[in-house]
Amino acid sequence: MPRHRWTDEDDHQIRRRINLEQTYDEIGAALGVSRNAVAARVQRLGLGSPERAAFLRSRRLKGKKRPKDVMRRVAKASKARAEDPAHRARLQEMGQRHAANPKRIRAVAKALDRKRGGPILPELAEDYRLARRKHLPAAEAYAATHPTIQTFGKGA
């Protein structure tokens, strides 16, 4: 197999994805290289450390799982609500009412910006969505995707 020639763009992608707490397997799949190639490049760039690896492992292991009987009960109740025509009508009416109110839309956007730490830049929106899909809290996802922007708010 021919050796991969690393470019500045590859290095940028690795840094970005490391900040988003992706695994070497995920980064390798995105770049079309092996997990070991990514691990070696991360070490060479000085981004990897045993402490960071332990931190990422602990982040992934956090959280309690609900017992199966509780999950079944919640799913059953949710399905019953979704199938109820009155509930559907209420949700649809509420959505139309909020969508027709520009003041409400601005208020929601402002509240989300406060929660995150600032507005999402259009060129970084995809990175932010990826971080949120990785179950990072909004403020952490914002900080990971907007590293050069100073965030103000809780904890700052």
1 within some domain: no
CB 42, CB 34: distance < 8 Å = no
pLDDT in tens, 124-140: 888 888 888 877 788 88
13 within some domain: yes
Number of domains the chain is built from = 2
- What rounded mean pLDDT belongs to the chain? 79
pLDDT in tens, 56-88: 666 665 555 667 787 788 888 888 888 888 988
94 within some domain: no
DSSP state of 7: -
C-alpha span between 143 and 80 (Å, rounded): 39
DSSP string, 52-121: HHHHHHHHHH-SPPPPHHHHHHHHHHHHHHHH-HHHHHHHHHHHHHHHT-HHHHHHHHHHHHHHHTSPPP
68 within some domain: no
Q: What is the pLDDT of residue 111?
A: 84
CB 56, CB 21: distance < 8 Å = yes
14 within some domain: yes
90 within some domain: no
pLDDT band at 155 (very low <50, low <70, confident <90, very high): very low
82 within some domain: no
Q: Which domain holds residue 42?
A: 8-61
| CB proximity list for 42: less than 8 A, separation 6 or greater | 14, 18, 24, 48
How far is C-alpha 143 from the chain's CA centre?
Answer: 11
Nearest by Cα to 20 from 50, 56, 62: 56
Q: What is the pLDDT of residue 156?
A: 42
29 within some domain: yes
